[in-house]
């Protein structure tokens, strides 16, 4: 017989075992783990990214990005848990200044002139990772979803006169509703807003050089801080249509709108609109 290394650990093990036994006893007959359904899906789509970062430039920027995602979702009739990795890549340019370039001219030692033209646009990469847990609350034909998620988002912009790198680790509650339809279809709407976040943004002087540190370390040291609703406001709304097909297939069409406003070091406003289509493989549950 194994003996716990300390009485406190033994107590925790006994408490954990008791909780598992209580949960198993509370489940109705037939609600076994075998009925848990898992979906693993890959999505592709389009994202429009609009940003106004007055800490970097007085110009508004917008871009057209190609988006992709990898999603895992599990549910057992009571709880839905989701893990998602997403990314989008493309270019941004100053709104209303398509094709604009800035020309730099230098004079060589021999008196000749050398010039280079730099486009006022920037390559843009956005990425996010999120884990969400939601409780399912049936109300008639509608299933309400209440929960929250922990997420990490990154926006990296490289170019001339463009907003700089931004990253955010956030905690956000979420609410949603799911309506099952005939022929293994459903529609779902959800909304989330960030309550607290750790944010890194380029400082107003755009300087991240610190002795003995990389530029990224300098960014984190000089441009990071905790935000709450008083300084950071966000709202994300998702609408999805889903249909199961065949023995194990799922088609999902998702539309998402996101808004963010951060007031430090100067006002930043971001609006993201994304349309995505994904195919998923169902594992477990009903065929």
Please give the DSSP secondary-structure letter assigned to residue 251: E
Residue 51: Cβ within 10 Å count: 25
How many domains does one find in the chain?
A: 1
Q: What tokens were used for 74?
A: 């599990």
- Give Cα 259 distance to the centre of its chain: 12
Look at residue 80 and tell me if it is in a domain. Answer: yes
Look at residue 101 and tell me if it is in a domain. Answer: yes
The per-residue pLDDT for 260 is 97
The per-residue pLDDT for 82 is 98
Look at residue 136 and tell me if it is in a domain. Answer: yes
Beta strands in the chain (DSSP E): 37-53, 61-75, 79-94, 101-107, 113-119, 121-139, 142-159, 166-181, 185-192, 196-200, 224-228, 232-245, 249-262, 268-284
Q: Is 201 exposed, middle or buried (0-12, 13-18, 19+ CB in 10 A)?
A: buried
Look at residue 4 and tell me if it is in a domain. Answer: no
Sites in the chain below the pLDDT cut of 50: 1-9, 12-13, 16, 19-20, 22-34
Look at residue 72 and tell me if it is in a domain. Answer: yes
- Write the CA distances from 230 to 10, 92, 198, integer angstroms: 44, 29, 14
What are 182-223's pLDDT values in tens digits? 999 999 999 999 999 999 998 877 777 888 888 889 888 988
Q: What tokens were used for 22?
A: 């209580």
Buried-exposed string 204-237: b where 16+ CB fall within 10 A, e elsewhere: eeeebeeeeeeeeebbbebbeeebeeeebebebe
Are 145 and 136 contacting, i.e. CB atoms less than 8 angstroms apart? Answer: yes
The per-residue pLDDT for 167 is 95
Q: What tokens were used for 169?
A: 């680790």
Look at residue 214 and tell me if it is in a domain. Answer: yes
Q: Distance between CA 198 and CA 232 in Å, rounded? A: 10
pTM: 0.81
Q: Distance between CA 280 and CA 250 in Å, rounded? A: 5
Look at residue 9 and tell me if it is in a domain. Answer: no
The per-residue pLDDT for 49 is 95
Look at residue 199 and tell me if it is in a domain. Answer: yes
Structural Rg of the chain based on CA atoms: 24
The domain that contains 87 carries what CATH number? 2.40.128.100
What is the domain extent for residue 71? 36-284
Of the candidates 154, 124, 103, 117, the residue with the CA atom closest to the CA atom of residue 61: 124
The per-residue pLDDT for 271 is 97
């Amino acid at each position: 017989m194994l003996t716990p290394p300390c009485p406190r650990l033994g107590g925790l093990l006994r408490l954990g075992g008791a909780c598992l036994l209580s949960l198993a006893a509370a489940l109705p007959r037939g609600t076994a783990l075998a009925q848990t359904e898992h979906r693993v899906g890959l999505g592709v789509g389009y994202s429009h990214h609009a940003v106004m970062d007055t800490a970097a430039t007085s110009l508004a920027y917008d871009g057209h990005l190609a988006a992709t995602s990898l999603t895992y979702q599990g549910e057992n009739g009571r709880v839905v848990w989701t893990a998602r990795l997403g990314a989008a890549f493309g270019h941004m340019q100053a709104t209303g200044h398509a094709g604009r370039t800035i020309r730099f001219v230098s004079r060589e030692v021999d008196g000749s002139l050398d010039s280079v033209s730099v486009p006022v646009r920037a390559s843009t990469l956005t990425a996010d990772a999120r884990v969400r847990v939601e409780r399912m609350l049936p109300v008639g034909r509608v299933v309400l979803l209440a929960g929250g998620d922990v997420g990490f988002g990154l926006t990296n912009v490289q170019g001339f006169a463009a907003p700089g790198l931004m990253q955010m680790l956030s905690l956000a509650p979420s609410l949603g509703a799911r309506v099952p339809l005939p022929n293994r279809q459903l529609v779902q709407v959800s909304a989330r807003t960030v309550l607290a976040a750790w944010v890194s943004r380029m400082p107003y002087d755009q300087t991240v050089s610190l002795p003995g540190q990389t530029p990224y370390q300098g960014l984190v040291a000089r441009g990071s801080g905790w935000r709450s609703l008083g300084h950071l406001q966000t709202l994300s709304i998702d609408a999805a249509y889903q249909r199961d097909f065949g023995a194990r297939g799922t088609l999902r069409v998702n539309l998402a709108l996101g808004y963010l406003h951060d007031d430090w070091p100067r006002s930043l406003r971001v609006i993201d609109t994304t349309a995505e289509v994904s195919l998923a493989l169902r594992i477990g549950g009903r065929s």
